[in-house]
């Protein structure tokens, strides 16, 4: 999920950067209850938001540009549910981001990433990724003002703007503070903020109706209980109120959102009650491919390429390699002093922690350098370290295995949980699709910057 928008002084480069954004971000379809079991305790961790990497202190940074494309209009089908959109995830992500910014302001992760959320949030106030002068004319306050009247009708139930405004505010917060983009007509249109937000508001109502059809009615008390749990999770009323203010949201909107994921949880629990996964089933899954589950934790010493440009020269590579070899000889002489050597010699942000990367990864991990993962898994086990420096695009690593977890007995519960989630999600999607196909949905609000939804 990394994003870094490199500041450009040339308008032509700014325009090109926008035009390149052609991959889907806001309107990627997701399963409606993909995180249903623990939505009151969002599972979007620092690892997921920041994409933990070993490439943490590069001397020359490269701008990464994931592409974004405008929302595609899709007709209702038996296999595709247009209302289930990724801004549910974006909303949760920005809520977590807001909490982290207010409850841990100033804290830096031990392995400081090249594209951290903190860096991007700071950049949001100074970077301008829209055409010159465009953002000055955009009525941001008006766009985020409470929506009056009915926004949609779902099976005869009229929806006011409460939930629509909540998702709209969360998506704006994410775009401004995570992607570092100034709000403008072009950005609102490109990300499809209006249709995405309405789609999720409709989905929230439909999930409540579906839960009721299955015999579970979501009450105000259910939503209030979930909100109180979130307030405690976020660190109390003060932080919660700061989060709401920062993300342009209100308690009323958040309470309405809690009805949305109360329905998620109710449906999940209802379906899960009829599913049993045994230890034998889980062990069979593990035995089929242990590499999907066995994990290692590592420490490392990184010697960065002292490159003047984006690509190090052969001379620069040789210099870094020679330095890494010298450090490696010190490690071989005193393996027990690895942490102290990392503190002294490593160019990585983890140096202050003795090179520790507190992150368990499998052989198939993609959040770390591929060369780093391969180098770590080429070693024997806990206590072993690289016999030769491992090269990545950042520099040369000396890797030490700190911990290894393997064997079916260590993953039985995890596999059972994953299997349960998958089966429940599949069943709920079937129920949702059938319910959606037989629903009457009408859009009432007129979008200012987007075409109406095709429902």
pTM reported for the whole predicted model:
0.63
pLDDT at 306: 84
Residue whose structure tokens are 């100034």: 182
Domain boundaries, the chain: 11-277+426-443, 294-406
Query: Which pLDDT score, from 0 to 100, does residue 201 have?
Result: 97
Nearest to 41 by CA among 240, 223, 204, 230: 230
Give the CATH number of domain 294-406; options: 1.50.40.10, 2.30.30.90, 3.10.50.40, 1.10.3720.10.
3.10.50.40
User: How do residues 197-233 score in pLDDT, each as one tens digit?
Assistant: 999 999 999 999 999 999 999 999 999 999 999 999 9
pLDDT score, position 308: 67
Name residues of the chain where pLDDT drops below 70: 1-136, 308-309
The per-residue pLDDT for range 165-202, each reduced to its tens digit, is: 999 999 999 999 988 999 999 999 999 999 999 999 99
Q: What is the pLDDT of residue 442?
A: 97
């Amino acid at each position: 999920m990394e994003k870094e928008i490199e500041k450009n002084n040339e308008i032509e480069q700014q325009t090109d950067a926008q035009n390149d954004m052609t991959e889907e971000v806001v309107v990627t379809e997701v399963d409606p209850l993909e995180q249903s079991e623990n939505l009151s305790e969002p599972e979007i961790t620092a690892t997921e938001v920041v994409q933990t990497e070993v490439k943490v202190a590069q001397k020359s940074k490269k701008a990464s540009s994931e592409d974004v494309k405008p929302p595609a209009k899709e007709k209702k089908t038996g296999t595709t549910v247009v209302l289930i959109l990724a801004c549910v995830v974006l909303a949760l992500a920005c809520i977590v981001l807001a909490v982290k910014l207010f409850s841990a302001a100033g804290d830096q992760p031990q392995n400081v990433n090249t594209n951290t959320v903190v860096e991007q949030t700071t950049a949001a106030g100074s970077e301008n990724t829209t055409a010159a002068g465009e953002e000055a004319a955009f009525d941001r306050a008006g766009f985020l003002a409470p929506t009056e009247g009915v926004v949609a009708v779902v099976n005869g139930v009229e929806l006011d703007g409460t939930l629509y405004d909540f998702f709209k505010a969360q998506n704006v917060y994410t775009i401004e503070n995570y992607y570092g983009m100034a709000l403008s007509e072009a950005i609102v249109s490109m990300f499809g903020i209006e249709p995405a937000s309405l789609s999720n508001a409709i989905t929230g109502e439909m999930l409540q109706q579906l839960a009721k059809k299955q015999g579970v009615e979501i009450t105000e008390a259910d939503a209030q209980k979930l909100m109180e749990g979130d307030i405690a999770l976020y660190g109390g009323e003060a932080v919660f109120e700061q989060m709401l203010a920062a993300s342009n949201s209100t308690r009323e909107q958040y309470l309405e959102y809690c009805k949305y994921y109360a329905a998620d949880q109710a449906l999940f629990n209802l379906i899960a009650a009829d599913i049993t996964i045994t230890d034998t089933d889980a062990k069979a899954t593990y035995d089929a491919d242990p590499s999907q589950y066995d994990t290692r934790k590592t420490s490392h010493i990184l010697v960065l390429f002292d490159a003047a440009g984006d690509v190090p020269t052969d001379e620069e590579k040789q210099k870094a390699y020679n330095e890494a070899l010298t450090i490696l000889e010190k490690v071989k002489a005193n393996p027990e002093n690895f942490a102290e050597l990392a503190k002294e010699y490593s160019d990585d942000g983890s140096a202050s922690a003795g090179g520790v990367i507190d992150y368990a990864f499998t052989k198939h991990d993609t959040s770390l350098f591929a060369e780093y993962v391969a180098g770590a898994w080429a070693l024997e086990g806990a206590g072993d370290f690289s016999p030769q420096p491992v090269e990545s695009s950042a520099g040369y690593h000396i890797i030490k295995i700190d911990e290894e977890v393997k064997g079916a007995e260590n993953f039985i519960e995890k596999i059972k949980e994953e299997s349960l989630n998958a089966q429940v999600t599949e069943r709920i999607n079937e129920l949702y699709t059938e319910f959606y196909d037989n629903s009457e949905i009408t859009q009432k609000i007129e979008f200012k910057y987007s075409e109406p939804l095709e429902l």
